[in-house]
């Protein structure tokens, strides 16, 4: 079994980005600028956004954090999005999810100018990805694809099983893996109502678990020699940690590990790649790579 080191891969990519940014700036170009909108004080969201701002510094980007209390109105948030859409200095921005229940998340996503939607959540980007056009791709699936590519794991013609059908991970992951010019794999998506889930998993050359259920994938669900990608990051209480919790993946690492050819750990696997891909999308936004 070989461990897929997302932390080291992300560090390498961030260094590559930082070098490119310095070349752009030295040639008289503009530093990419990412803005992040954070609503409320959810612990997970606070950590993610803090790490995104830190990653911007590592990459040599300008970053702006816009904060609102949890009682912000949808109208106020839409006005903020309108300002960011029109701000010529901001190349790309994200609104950290989840949002409080009184705000219509989809309405917020659709208010973002798709040309600045570095999360790749806007229907224009989702649709363009589905038909293989240049666009911003959601960071977690993009990061997983990048790991498979950098570890030279064959995907063409292979059987890929994805657990989970979320708009952020499962669905875009399936699109990337089936795309002829990308994964070129045979893709099956399983979810909470799949009656043949275990049997499907056992056929997978590449198994991608993104269901958010700690320890869901057991050794009997994994084919000998498979590549297993664990997207789970559930916080479980742990009194021995200063934070009071630890991150738990969807895969029982200790029992699945001996059967795999490749496996991602939690933490240190997919997680660090996600923020890194947001940085790559922001670099593309700064360079106006997909849209003018």
Tell me if 4 contacts ligand GUN by CB under 6 A. no
Alpha carbon separation from 201 to 83, 186, 250, 251 (Å, rounded): 46, 13, 13, 12
Residues 233-292 within binding reach of ligand GUN (CB under 6 A): none
User: Which of 52, 73, 48 shows the shortest CA–CA distance to 62?
Assistant: 52
Which pairing describes strands 234-237 and 245-248: parallel, antiparallel, or unpaired?
Answer: antiparallel
Q: Which residue has tokens 């669905």?
A: 171
Q: Which of 5, 14, 91, 96 is catalytic?
A: 96
Nearer to ligand GUN, 23 or 54 (CB): 54
Task: Pick the stretch among 92-100, 124-132, 226-234, 279-287 that binds ligand GUN (CB under 6 A).
Answer: 92-100
Structure tokens at 218: 């057991």
* 8 A C-beta contact, residue 217 and residue 209: yes
Tell me if 96 contacts ligand GUN by CB under 6 A. yes
Which pairing describes strands 227-230 and 206-209: parallel, antiparallel, or unpaired?
Answer: parallel
| Options 97, 130, 153, 178; binder of ligand GUN; rule CB under 6 A | 97
Residue 235, SS3 per DSSP: strand
Shortest distance in whole angstroms from residue 268 CB to ligand GUN = 18
Shortest distance in whole angstroms from residue 39 CB to ligand GUN = 11
Tell me if 119 contacts ligand GUN by CB under 6 A. yes
Please list the helix, strand and coil fractions of the chain in percent, rounded to the nearest 5, in that order. Answer: 40, 15, 40
Shortest distance in whole angstroms from residue 144 CB to ligand GUN = 13
Residues 135-194 within binding reach of ligand GUN (CB under 6 A): 139, 168
Instruction: Enumerate binding residues for ligand GUN (CB under 6 A).
Output: 94-97, 119, 139, 168
Active site residues: 52, 96, 119
């Amino acid at each position: 079994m070989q461990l897929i080191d997302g932390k080291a891969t992300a560090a390498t990519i961030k260094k590559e980005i930082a070098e490119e940014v310095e070349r752009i700036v030295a040639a008289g170009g503009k530093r990419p600028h990412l803005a992040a909108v954070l609503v409320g004080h959810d612990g997970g969201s606070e950590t993610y956004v803090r790490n995104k701002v830190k990653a911007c510094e590592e990459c040599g980007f300008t970053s702006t954090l816009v904060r609102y209390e949890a009682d912000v109105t949808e109208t106020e948030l839409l006005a903020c999005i309108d300002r960011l859409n029109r701000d010529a200095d901001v190349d790309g921005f994200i609104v950290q999810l989840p949002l409080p229940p009184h705000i219509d998340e989809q309405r917020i996503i659709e208010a973002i100018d798709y040309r600045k939607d570095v999360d790749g959540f806007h229907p224009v980007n989702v649709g363009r990805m589905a038909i293989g056009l240049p666009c911003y791709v959601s960071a977690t699936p993009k990061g997983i694809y990048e790991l498979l590519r950098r570890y030279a794991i064959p995907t063409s013609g292979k059987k890929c099983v994805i657990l989970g059908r979320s708009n952020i991970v499962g669905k875009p992951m399936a699109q990337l893996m089936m795309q002829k010019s990308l994964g070129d794999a045979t893709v099956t998506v399983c979810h909470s109502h799949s009656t043949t889930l275990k049997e499907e998993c056992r056929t997978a050359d590449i198994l991608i678990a993104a269901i958010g259920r700690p320890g869901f994938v057991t050794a009997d669900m994994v084919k000998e020699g498979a590549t297993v990608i664990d997207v789970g990051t559930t916080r479980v209480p742990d009194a021995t940690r200063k934070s009071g919790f630890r991150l738990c993946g969807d895969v029982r690492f200790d029992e699945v590990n001996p059967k795999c050819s490749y496996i991602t750990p939690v933490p240190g696997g997919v997680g660090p790649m996600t923020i890194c891909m947001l940085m790559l999308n922001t670099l593309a936004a700064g360079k106006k790579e997909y849209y003018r």
